[in-house]
Amino acid sequence: MAEDTATHEDHWDTSTAPLTISGGILLLCLAFIFYFVYHSGMAAIISLGIGTPLIFGGVVIWINEAIGEEGEGLSAPSMGWFILAEAMIFMSLFANYWLQRLLTPDWPPAGTPAEMPVLIPLIMTVLLVTSSFTIHIGEDKLANDDKAGFIKWLVISILLGTAFLGMSLFEWAHLIGLGFDVTTNVYSTSFYSITGFHASHVLVGLCIFLAILIPALGNRTNIGLVKTGALYWHFVDIIWFFVVSQVYFW
């Protein structure tokens, strides 16, 4: 037993996944800097092209370790630290938005549509809040050893999250059609940066849910991964309240 524990701890201590994901996030941030600050499209494309595979590759590695034969799932403390780091990135985006919002004489700036969507973000809020309830119900079903019920509510959560992303894409396409793209003004840059960054977190959450669903269909469920995946999803839900209140209604 002691040897097994030592082997397990050594395995997690030497995991390359956190460093891989961190490197990908750094390159993703550099892509924005290259494009918006230095106006270098090629450097931005290179950074994005390297950073994106690193992020998804790191996620795949981490999840594979979590659901493997020796894996116990992503631990709650580890996910807590990861969420804290992500929250700090969101805070930097919000701080920039608040600064621009308070220092710009005319708000919304010229080029902003006369009426920003109101109904769509409200529907998106309902979808995301509902998905937090459904994944919580799924956790309860799993705790009561109702695996069929767990799979059912997990699938519902995935569908709700997918609908949320679909509505985000629809909204962006609508706004871009009105001439409101990422380069229109300072508001549009902040709008697409914040909503796009949040959407990327929703996408990661859906990938985690799929990583839970696929083994569950084969009667393999990792409770640790379910709990930490649900914790991450609740974080994404909470952040959305900041996004929708600040970017859409302030």
From 205, 226, 227, select the one nearest 215 (Cα to Cα): 226
- Is the CB of residue 234 less than 8 Å from the CB of residue 132? yes
Q: Is the dihedral of CA 217, 133, 79, 196 positive or negative?
A: positive
* d(C-alpha 135, C-alpha 64), whole Å: 21
Residue 198: the pLDDT is 95
Per-residue pLDDT, 73: 54
Which pLDDT score is estimated for 34? 92
Helix (H, G, I), strand (E, B) or coil at 75: coil
Q: What is the pLDDT of residues 184-223, one digit of tens each?
A: 899 999 999 999 999 999 998 998 899 889 889 988 887 8
Q: How far is CA 24 from CA 28, 62, 234, 247, in A?
A: 6, 14, 23, 26
pLDDT at residue 170, rounded to an integer: 95
The widest CA-to-CA distance across the chain, in whole angstroms, is 67
pLDDT under 50: residue ranges of the chain: 1-12, 69
User: How far is residue 135's CA from residue 140's CA, in Å, rounded to a whole number?
Assistant: 9
